[in-house]
Amino acid sequence: MRSSSLLRSPLPGLLLILAPMALAALPAKEPKPPTFEGSSQVVAVEVPVNVVSRDGEPVRGLTAADFEVYDGSDKQAITSFEVIDLKTIQEPGAPGAPEAAPALPELRPAARRHFLLLFDLSFSTPTSILKARLAARDFVLHSLHPTDLAAVATYSLETGPKLIVTFTPDRVQLARAVDTLGYHQSLESGVHNDALRFLIEEPDAALLSSVSGTSRTDRQDLKDAAIYEYLKSIALAAEKDERSFQMSRISNYSRSLSQMARALNAVQGRKPDNVAFGQTWFVDSDQRFGNTGLQGEVGRMLEQFRRADCVIQAVDIGGLRAGADEQARPSGEGALFYMAHDTGGELFKDANNLREPLDRMLEKTSVTYLLTFERSDLKTDGAYHRLKVKAKLPPGARLTHRAGYYAPRPFQQLDPLERNLLASDGIASAAPRRDLDINVLTAPFRATPERGYVPVIIEASGKSLLAGEKGKKLDVEIYAYVSDQQGRMRDFFNRRVALDLDKGGARKGMEEGGIKYYGHFDLEPGAYHVRVLVRNAGSGRTGVQTVPVTVPSYAEAQPVLLPPFFMEDHQKWLLVREQTGGELKGSVVYPFTVSGEPYVPAARPVLDGGKPARLCLVAYNLGKGELAVQGEVVAADGKASPQGKLSRVERTATGIQGLDKLVATFDPAGLSAGDYVLKVAVTDPATGHKQTNSLAFHVVR
């Protein structure tokens, strides 16, 4: 039952942890490139369901036969059923996990929980925000499951809603974002310019760059003091506005969060219960304003959160206030209850210890039943469809599920935040996507004994980029990030390529090949994943690929063989190289050379079955003397093929100690059209050391 009273002001001390649900229109099985002319396509609608017992414990053991799903009034056939029990998924090396614990499974985006931590800076007291920050930091560092994704955002009168760090598995970046609390110097003067907001600058570097000779504790105190003064200035500005612009402030607040809720609908993921920390109150609307118009604004805001599949669980942090800067204020129980109740959540009262309600919220959503049904008659009109789920439940059990879903809508109608969230979701989930045909090649060259220079070659098929394009302009977005084994984002590069297809042979180059982009990362020894997303900025057609790369410890001088590099005709590609500040990077020598002559490596070689191809083998620390080189072709079915020969291997002089470059010829004669892998082995006869590496290629006839 809705309250009839009016929210007097937006929530001081507000911290929301919101978890959006899956995108409405997920292409069923192998996706076909979407069209955006209002036509229909087969889509899979995923419906995560949580069931808790009378005492709040998750209910296990249900099957597909226990559930019924209705789209409006029409019962749908469940085409897929999956159980996600986070208690059975343990991170390798975590406390309590077995020594031989398997690697974390590659969960689909809809199976992951997403959390948004939203700090309301304008309507908060600085001390309560700083104390709530400790709970949020503890939450992201210690409470989240390894498969969870989280994001951090702020709201203020000065900037409106602002995403600080996007949905990411990187707990270090999340904690760093919570530490800044949106402090403007740490965010605006950062060395990074990450469009998708996966990485931000270390707060100490931004806030204390001019301070030297201070201890870590002193630096933390200085940082907290700077943030406190920033929050205090925002709060003072808000109090001034409260006296003059109360009604417009509530209206703008509601509309801003409504826009953020609509943007969250673009993020795929499971919806656990969500959290709001706050300390505000209600007053009688007729006494205060004489009408209920503003309550309607707030109601519409909450409706947007419901439609975006966000539930707000509210925690009263009134007990966190302290200090002379705090005004005596009533309890925020009424407003928090209103936000929680109207989105299907609960209110946790008197929560001076925030860890307990957060842990209870996580426990309730640790088991999810993922139901999927398919629709072939949806139009790309963005229409909202209400859902109902019925189930055979144990006595006293309670079921929660997404309230509905949106049909797809044209990419051109999405606002910038929605587009960025779509891109960051593709990077974070790392799920392959082939709307665009892209291929990625990485290799760890030696830069110094302590670091590797890792080129990233990205090929985007021109035909797939041009599909459906009728104009002469083409804008292509390229995003690349590298993460370590713990999911921490270590580096990135972003680039937007704008082409006039009628100039300089651009259209011909796109039709014959496409765009080949050259970027790189500087990495310490270790295992990484390079995540690449390429998108047509006009149509939204997207390609996503993730490739592993291991940087060896070159200081140990162990033998290393890089993947075979096929040399190809660069004329078929529009070549684009990384830039920083408008200047080409020239501090590192281009590594793809033979006898001083540069070549362009193929990320995914396409070979004519009747023509031999040249390739280069790059190795380190192989030893002196003759080397034995062997090549083996493996077909798509995993069986070795007798066809395809590696011959005419020549060891070239490099002039660099420990670096070898061997030029060879590969003849694909006899191979049928299709996909293959070339495995190469180089053996030092003197020591018997064998190094192997491989690269996928394609044969055409």
Residue 197 lies in a domain: yes
Q: What's the CATH code of the domain at 644?
A: 2.60.40.10
Which tens digit of pLDDT belongs to each residue from 428-482? 888 888 899 999 999 999 999 999 999 999 999 999 999 878 788 999 999 999 9
Are 661 and 531 members of one domain?
no
Are 376 and 502 members of one domain?
no
Which bin fits 38, alpha (ψ -120 to 50), beta or left (φ > 0)? left
Which tens digit of pLDDT belongs to each residue from 483-518? 998 889 999 999 999 999 888 778 888 888 899 999
Amino acid identity at 19: A
| Predicted local confidence at residue 134, as pLDDT | 81
Average pLDDT for the chain: 76
Position with higher pLDDT, 96 vs 691: 691
Among 91-105, 189-203, 560-574, name the most confident range. Answer: 560-574
Are 378 and 437 members of one domain?
no
Are 489 and 636 members of one domain?
no
Q: What's the CATH code of the domain at 24?
A: 3.40.50.410
Its domain, for residue 655, covers 605-701
Residue 25 has pLDDT above 50, yes or no: no
Residue partners of 257: CB distance under 8 A and separation at least 6 = 155, 161, 301, 304, 305
Residue 282 lies in a domain: yes
- Segment 108-114 shows an average pLDDT of 76
Strands 613-620 and 560-561: antiparallel
Residue partners of 246: CB distance under 8 A and separation at least 6 = 8, 9
Give 452-469 as a DSSP string.
Answer: EEEEEEEEEEHHHHHTT-
Residue 424 lies in a domain: no
Position with higher pLDDT, 360 vs 369: 369
Position with higher pLDDT, 491 vs 278: 491
| Predicted local confidence at residue 639, as pLDDT | 93
Burial annotation 619-649 (CB, 10 A radius, 16+ → b, else e): bbbbeeeebebebbbbbeeeeebeebebeeb
Residue 388 has pLDDT above 70, yes or no: yes
Are 440 and 386 members of one domain?
no
| Predicted local confidence at residue 345, as pLDDT | 66
Q: How far is CA 443 from CA 182, 339, 455, 489, 668, in A?
A: 37, 51, 6, 18, 24
Residue 423 lies in a domain: no
Position with higher pLDDT, 232 vs 527: 527
Are 61 and 160 members of one domain?
yes
Residue 396 has pLDDT above 90, yes or no: yes
Are 438 and 384 members of one domain?
no
Are 372 and 442 members of one domain?
no
| Predicted local confidence at residue 10, as pLDDT | 32
Residue 417 lies in a domain: no
Q: Are 615 and 664 in contact (CB under 8 A)?
A: yes
Residue partners of 328: CB distance under 8 A and separation at least 6 = none
Residue 284: phi and psi, rounded to 5, are: -65, 125
Q: How many domains does one find in the chain?
A: 3
Whether the full predicted model's pTM is greater than 0.75, yes or no, is yes
Residue 315 lies in a domain: yes
| Predicted local confidence at residue 111, as pLDDT | 75
Are 447 and 406 members of one domain?
no
Q: Domain end: 354, 384, 412, which one?
A: 412
Are 596 and 617 members of one domain?
no
Are 399 and 265 members of one domain?
yes
Q: How far is CA 184 from CA 104, 162, 189, 232, 563, in A?
A: 36, 11, 8, 13, 44
Residue 422 lies in a domain: no
Q: Please give the structure tokens belonging to residue 642.
A: 């007798």
Residue 626 lies in a domain: yes
Are 350 and 457 members of one domain?
no
Can you tell me the distance from the alpha carbon of 72 to that of 268, in angstroms, rounded to the nearest whole number? Answer: 22
Distance of CA 198 to the CA centre of its chain: 8
